[in-house]
Structure 1
């Protein structure tokens, strides 16, 4: 049955004083976090979206956040200054983890392995203990930035997208390098495994979205030129039927996860969307709302509805 996707902007959240670089879930579907070039980490409630709550302020820009479920902690990647562990209950910095003095582009927490992975601007992937957050080891396979991290629980594989245009797939437990995927022509800014673990999707500065078959030795299934410029981020819908991409071309696109058909373009002309680069997406199970953040210092909340035709 054909379906029609309807998108409506619910609200615009303001308060950040610089480009908003990242969004992260919390322990509740209706609450999420944002961080920006202003060093502010803010909690937002989709039930009462007008006012954000300041959770932490750090001295440099923040590109990456990661929520630690069960412990109500938030990991904040403070560029040049390492990792801050924030206790969300008390809004206190519990711990500062010194790391190489470079940008932190992504953070991943894998509870079953008790590991935290941190993608660094010097090409390192730092591996921290998932409980104490002590630095355990550093994976160094490139001189260029490690930009994006994705984990496949079915195969226990970690995919890392780098600025040398290569995606390297590691055994997340042993940290052995298993595959190098080198079809992209520019930095790999985003990577995500499909919810069933069968596919790896990657997006790059080359504007290409590439699809890799996990069980087939990461053979490339195909690609699409998804945007005009850099694909900054991609994320799956809570039910796994769709995924969304966002780009430096100021647009957000929604795709069918099975057919890879483009279903919807969200942009300034059609939807009063962002005026500059869209940096990150958060797709909440709370009323299926999609949240986007941008260099224009705003966060937008979108109502996404499937209407069967």
Structure 2
């Protein structure tokens, strides 16, 4: 049974000149990446957090990053300007992939499928070859934005959250539509499969956290109003016992992944948290540290300790 959690802020990382929208782990446990409205992509080291390193600079906002582990590449999704492939050894742009003139809201690479999936602001999901990064197809079920992606390695399914309030589940290999989940009343900004693949968690602008049973044809287990405003992201802890949500209400919440009990609220009053919308989370295996980024231009690193009851 998961115990309670203790939270301590370790550091605040500064250097971005605009909202920070996304975070991404690397192949090294101590290194992660960030990007945002200033077009700068930075690398950070947990062991030397004060020294951010500029990896790339692009001309428009970056909402999505994806690390490709076996080749040490970083995929950068530019607003309106397509996908760029960065070689992290050389820090050079190896390839630019033109896509429809639309924002790239999420990128997902899966070695099992050998593909890259891109969530586009025109409602399309682009499917790229994972080796050449050539565009294979675009699947479009609505003209409203595809906002978020999650892959279930146990079932080979891809869940996509859209701004038409629907979560669509595809077979990741064929991109055949399997399910349409229609419980949300506003845009779906985040989808996450549990590490064991049994549950799908979805959330977004309606501030409702929905839980779906994957093996039972995505039957809804239920929902709770998890935040005051838009939920921007959900992430699981490395051991799968907990998950975290972050919101436009400036808070981060930590939950028991089995009971869905709220364990801890991280905010400005309690923990010197963010002053504006918290946009993305990354829960690292590096000493179980949670990283958050915000419209306030900062990145915070949190030490999460389990306290046995």
Provide TM-score, normalisation by structure 1. 0.99
Contact 2:62 2:76 in 1 (8 A): yes
1:70 counterpart SS class: helix
Cα distance in 2 for residues equivalent to 1:170 and 1:68: 22
User: 1:278 matched to which residue of 2?
Assistant: 278
* Displacement after TM superposition at 1:35 (Å): 0.2
Cα distance in 2 for residues equivalent to 1:15 and 1:143: 36
Contact 2:2 2:256 in 1 (8 A): no
2:168 counterpart SS class: strand
Give the length in aligned residue pairs. 309
Alignment map for 1:188-267 (pairs within 5 Å): 188-267=188-267
| Gaps in structure 2 of 5+ consecutive residues | none
- RMSD of Structure 2 on Structure 1 (CA): 0.7
Alignment map for 1:136-151 (pairs within 5 Å): 136-151=136-151
**Residue 2 and residue 164 in structure 1: after superposition, are their counterparts in 2 closer, same or farther (change >3 A)?**
closer
Cα distance in 1 for residues equivalent to 2:305 and 2:158: 32
2:112 counterpart SS class: helix
In the TM superposition, what whole-angstrom CA distance separates every residue of 1:4-39 from its partner, at most 9, and x where no partner exists?
311000000000000000000000111000001000
2:70 counterpart SS class: coil
User: 1:268 matched to which residue of 2?
Assistant: 268
User: 2:81 matched to which residue of 1?
Assistant: 81
Alignment map for 1:1-309 (pairs within 5 Å): 3-309=3-309
2:270 counterpart SS class: helix
Cα distance in 2 for residues equivalent to 1:120 and 1:66: 15
**Residue 144 and residue 172 in structure 1: after superposition, are their counterparts in 2 closer, same or farther (change >3 A)?**
same
* Displacement after TM superposition at 1:261 (Å): 0.2
Cα distance in 2 for residues equivalent to 1:234 and 1:290: 12
In the TM superposition, what whole-angstrom CA distance separates every residue of 1:157-194 from its partner, at most 9, and x where no partner exists?
00000000000000000110010000000000000000
Contact 2:23 2:34 in 1 (8 A): yes
Cα distance in 1 for residues equivalent to 2:292 and 2:2: 27
* Displacement after TM superposition at 1:70 (Å): 1.2
After TM superposition, the runs of 4+ consecutive aligned structure 1 residues lying more than 3 A away are none
Cα distance in 2 for residues equivalent to 1:207 and 1:263: 18
Cα distance in 2 for residues equivalent to 1:155 and 1:6: 34
* Displacement after TM superposition at 1:112 (Å): 1.5
| Gaps in structure 1 of 5+ consecutive residues | none
1:113 counterpart SS class: coil
* Displacement after TM superposition at 1:308 (Å): 1.0
1:112 counterpart SS class: coil
2:71 counterpart SS class: coil
* Displacement after TM superposition at 1:2 (Å): 7.6
* Displacement after TM superposition at 1:204 (Å): 1.1
Cα distance in 2 for residues equivalent to 1:193 and 1:5: 22
